[in-house]
A and B are shown apart, each in its own frame.
Chain A
Amino acid sequence: QKEVEQNSGPLSVPEGAIASLNCTYSDRGSQSFFWYRQYSGKSPELIMFIYSNGDKEDGRFTAQLNKASQYVSLLIRDSQPSDSATYLCAGPMKTSYDKVIFGPGTSLSVIP
């Protein structure tokens, strides 16, 4: 099992809807997770991080972490066409917690 897994998509949602992106991880010891957004042809940029069970909200973005079920999700409310990008989930590498391992990313398309 890969350390961090994501559904590659593509995920399509209409403008104004909630986009839900999911990620599962294999290492029960992982404490913190990151969500990066990557526009086509650009580099990844950090948009959210979460390190405790429950929800963390930042504007239209909510990250959710469920350690018992080993999944982390990103909700984007009121989705905009500018949210169309690939979203990468990342967590600490099992063999070395000061390094991060990335999932393959989920492609999101917000349809006007």
Chain B
Amino acid sequence: NAGVTQTPKFQVLKTGQSMTLQCAQDMNHNSMYWYRQDPGMGLRLIYYSASEGTTDKGEVPNGYNVSRLNKREFSLRLESAAPSQTSVYFCASSDGRRGPYGYTFGSGTRLTVV
């Protein structure tokens, strides 16, 4: 009953470095999401994937890329990290249907860019 697993939990990057945040879910959900959370800003959608093989931009996609590797995995890549990308990143999944279906979130990745 792992749910949504994110790795790593913590990361410090230097400006300009790249990294990939990994996310995997074992609930057979179709939809997966990447959010970032900043103080006072709430959760903001970066990218999402409605199903395997599809991805689309959210509210704040600049500086990020994603890959939906298969139904289980959805990764987020920072090609050239900037201090403005210091944040807590959450991956989430859902069954993707309309209606009152909520998300299941991973435990988060706390990223600091110096």
Contact = CB atoms under 8 A, between A and B. Distances in A.
Contacts of B59: 101
B53 to A, nearest CB: 16
B2 interface: no
A104 to B, nearest CB: 4
B50 interface: yes
Interface residues of B, number: 27
B100 A42 contact: no
B112 to A, nearest CB: 15
Interface stretch (B12-20, B37-45, B65-73, B75-83): B37-45
A-side interface mostly: strand
B48 interface: yes
Interface residues of A, number: 23
B42 to A, nearest CB: 4
Interface of B: 31, 33, 35, 40-45, 48, 50, 58-59, 90, 96-108
